[in-house]
Amino acid sequence: MGKNKKELLSLVACIALYAVVQSLIMLDVIGPFWELNLILICINVILAVSLNLINGFTGQFSIGHAGFMAVGAYLGAVLTVKLQLPFIVAILGGAAAAGFLGFVIGLPTLRLDGDYLAIATLGLGEIIRITILNIPYVGGASGFMGIPRYSNFTWVFFATVFTVFFIRNFINSTHGRACISIRENQIAAEAMGIDTTKYKVMAFTIGAAFAGIAGTLFSHYFYIAHPASFTFMKSFDILTIVVLGGLGSISGSITAAILLTFVSAALASYPEWRMIIYSLMLIVLMLYRPQGLFGNKEISLKIFGRLMGGNKRGNTQGN
């Protein structure tokens, strides 16, 4: 009962937030520049939360997330432009294709550990990009042009909410526990009877599928899917968000995605400074808060209850 109430409350909060932002956009209080940034924030949240499932919760260090995003971006565009299918089909298709690729790639590579897995996924991200670069059907090096702008704040916002709810519930399920136990100690997890390969592949597949959704939303906002948008620098951008927010914290990923998107928006006129600021931020973070902004903690209603103090406290702690 208490749990359902909480879920309902967060859903209402999401819809309220959506209503406020959407009306501000309609009233032109939020101009096109900030609307663009809001959409980038949402896409970055999807990317970061899905990568956090792989890197933060399951403990498998993957740095090829941009590759899966590219698959979603291109496949979604093929579905809407070449096959004239509706946008929702493109989103689902992008997710399915990226997820399938994650599954196929995950089976052999997730047997690797640590540095080796990182190197393998880095290479795979590049292989995906270069493969796309050499397919004339999707525009090759000049990119896939003429994609209709189907993405808007409504689509992107609700895709983000869905991602966060899905991954949060996954983590709180038995499957999620199994994933976390692999991060904590793989040998002990195996000794408990957990099929570690299965759960690593499962986390990798889900993470890749959501990156595919982000990719489809991305290409349908910017009219174009270009191989240069999905280099390993993009993967590092996502990784930076995850590490900055805290490996294993969804609220951390969301906060860091907002923060970093604003930082790069503010530095829009000095693009060469962006990476320097990013690296400085990471160095400072590693020195003073190596576990990331949130560590592996989550913001929950409990904390808000505590902040408000008084009679609220009794209610929230009862749950």
Tell me: does residue 296 bind another protein (CB under 8 A).
yes
Residues 80, 84: Cα–Cα separation, whole Å: 5
Say how many residues touch another protein, by CB under 8 A. Answer: 17
Give, in order, the Cα–Cα distances in Å from 160 to each of 11, 29, 44.
13, 23, 9
66 vs 180, beta carbon nearer another protein? 180
Tell me: does residue 184 bind another protein (CB under 8 A).
yes
Tell me: does residue 190 bind another protein (CB under 8 A).
yes
Handedness of CA 296, 299, 305, 309 (dihedral sign): positive
Binding-site member from 92, 124, 138, 180 for another protein (CB under 8 A): 180
To another protein, the closest distance from the beta carbon of 5 in angstroms equals 23
Q: What tokens were used for 215?
A: 């990719």
Binding-site member from 194, 203, 206, 225 for another protein (CB under 8 A): 194
Tell me: does residue 185 bind another protein (CB under 8 A).
yes
Tell me: does residue 247 bind another protein (CB under 8 A).
no
Q: Phi/psi at 141 (nearest 5 deg)?
A: -70, -20
DSSP 187-234: HHHHHTT--HHHHHHHHHHHHHHHHHHHHHHHHTTSS-B-GGGGSHHH
In the three-class reduction of DSSP (H, G, I as helix; E, B as strand; rest coil), residue 144 is classed as strand
Stretch that binds another protein, among 66-74, 133-141, 181-189, 217-225 (CB under 8 A): 181-189
Tell me: does residue 191 bind another protein (CB under 8 A).
yes
**Identity of residue 39:** I
Binding-site member from 69, 78, 178, 254 for another protein (CB under 8 A): 178
To another protein, the closest distance from the beta carbon of 176 in angstroms equals 11
Give the residues lining the site for another protein (CB under 8 A). 174, 177-178, 180-181, 184-185, 187-195, 296
